[in-house]
Structure 1
Amino acid sequence: MSEQLITPWAESRPLPPYKGVLAVDAKDFTGLPAVLHAPVSQMIPELVDQAMARAGLTSVLQDKRFPANTGDGIVFGFDPAHLPFVIWPFLKELDEVLAQYNLSVGPRIRLRASVHVGPLPDEGRPDDGNGTPRNDTHRLLDSRPVKAVLASSSEQTTHLAAILSDRVYEDVVLGGYAGLHPDRCIEVPATVEGKPFAQRAWLFIPSPSGNLFRAGVLAAEAPGGPAEPADAPAQRSGRSYRGNTQNVREGTAVMGDVSGNVSHTSGDTRYTATNQHWGSGDNVSGTKNTAAPGEQR
Structure 2
Amino acid sequence: MYDDHSELPRASARPYTRSRLLPPYRGVIAVDAKDFTGLPAIEHEVVSRAVPELLRLSLDRAGLAALWEDRKFSATTGDGYVIGCDPSLLPFVIHPWLYTLQEVLTEYNVHSLGAAPIRLRVSLHVGPLPDTGDEFGGNGTARNDTHRLLDSRPAKAVLAGSRSITQVVAVLSERCYQDAVASGYTGRHPDHFIEVPATVDGKRFAQQAWIYVPQPSGPLDDRHILGEAADEGAGPDVHPQARPDGVRDVVRTTNRAPRGNINTGTVHGGQSVANHHVAGDQVGGNKAGKVRGYQGDRVHGDKNQGRS
TM-score, scaled relative to structure 1 = 0.75
Distance 2:233 2:116 in 1: 45
Q: Aligned-pair RMSD on alpha carbons?
A: 2.9
Indicate the residue corresponding to 2:254 in structure 1: 292
1:24 and 1:113 in contact (8 A); partners too: yes
Comparing 158-167 with 2-11, greater Cα deviation is found at: 2-11
Q: Residues 107-159 of structure 1, C-alpha deviation per residue, up to 9 Å, x if partnerless?
A: 1110000000000000324431110000000000000001000011102x111
2:207 aligned counterpart, secondary structure: strand
Indicate the residue corresponding to 2:120 in structure 1: 111
Q: Residues 147-196 of structure 1, C-alpha deviation per residue, up to 9 Å, x if partnerless?
A: 000011102x1111000010010011011111111100000000000111
Distance 2:151 2:125 in 1: 14
Return 5+ residue gaps in structure 2 as ranges. Answer: 3-7, 243-249, 257-263, 265-308
The one-letter amino acid of 2:125's match is: H
* Aligned residue runs from structure 1 range 236-247, under 5 A: 246=222
Question: Could you tell me which of 13, 18, 23 is aligned with 1:16?
Answer: 23
How far did 1:42 drift?
A: 0.4
How far did 1:261 drift?
A: 2.9
2:74 and 2:82 in contact (8 A); partners too: yes
1:186 and 1:277 in contact (8 A); partners too: no
- 2:70 counterpart of 1:96: no
2:123 and 2:149 in contact (8 A); partners too: yes
Identity of aligned residues (%): 51
Indicate the residue corresponding to 2:163 in structure 1: 154
Indicate the residue corresponding to 2:182 in structure 1: 174
Distance 2:13 2:199 in 1: 30
2:26 and 2:129 in contact (8 A); partners too: yes
2:182 and 2:190 in contact (8 A); partners too: yes
TM-score, scaled relative to structure 2 = 0.72
Number of paired residues?
242
The one-letter amino acid of 2:200's match is: V
Question: Could you tell me which of 67, 76, 81 is aligned with 1:69?
Answer: 76
Residues 164/30 of structure 1: CA separation in 2 closer, same or farther (3 Å cut): same
Indicate the residue corresponding to 1:281 in structure 2: none
Residues 144/12 of structure 1: CA separation in 2 closer, same or farther (3 Å cut): same
Return 5+ residue gaps in structure 1 as ranges. Answer: 219-245, 264-273, 279-287
Distance 2:226 2:82 in 1: 27
2:51 and 2:80 in contact (8 A); partners too: yes
Distance 1:276 1:25 in 2: 32
Residues 187/42 of structure 1: CA separation in 2 closer, same or farther (3 Å cut): same
